[in-house]
C-alpha cells in the first residue's frame, strides 16, 4: 500500500496535541482590528480545538501530522 501525500497547506495550519486533539488558530484576526474590542482581540489570539467533523477531514488531508 503506498503512502498518502500530506496536504501541506492543511498541515501548516494545524498541530496535534499530545492527547491527539487538533489545534487551530482563530479566523478574523488578520486585519480591520481597530474596530474590534480588546476583549475580542484577546480571544482571537488564543488557539482553539478543531471540531470532531473537521478533525476527520484534516486527518485525511494530513494523515501523518
Question: How far, in Å, CA of 43 to CA of 1, rounded?
Answer: 43
Quickly state the pLDDT bin for 65 (edges 50, 70, 90).
confident
Longest dimension (CA), the chain: 52
Going by their DSSP bridges, the two strands 14-16 and 22-24 should be labelled as: antiparallel
SS3 23: strand
Q: What does the domain layout of the chain look like in residue ranges?
A: 18-26+35-65
Please name the residue that has the C-alpha cell 485525511: 60
Is the pTM here over 0.95, yes or no? no
- Tell me which residue of 49, 58, 64, 44 sits closest to 17, measured CA to CA: 49
pLDDT surpasses 90 at 1: no
Q: What is the pLDDT of residues 17-32, one digit of tens each?
A: 999 899 999 999 999 9
Give the cell for residue 52: 470532531
pLDDT surpasses 90 at 10: yes
Amino acid at each position: 500500500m503506498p503512502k498518502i501525500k500530506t496536504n501541506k497547506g492543511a498541515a501548516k495550519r494545524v498541530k496535534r496535541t499530545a492527547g491527539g486533539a487538533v489545534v487551530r488558530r482563530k479566523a478574523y484576526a488578520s486585519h480591520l482590528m481597530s474596530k474590534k474590542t480588546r476583549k475580542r482581540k484577546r480571544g482571537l489570539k488564543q488557539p482553539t480545538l478543531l471540531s470532531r467533523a473537521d478533525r476527520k477531514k484534516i486527518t485525511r488531508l494530513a494523515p501523518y501530522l
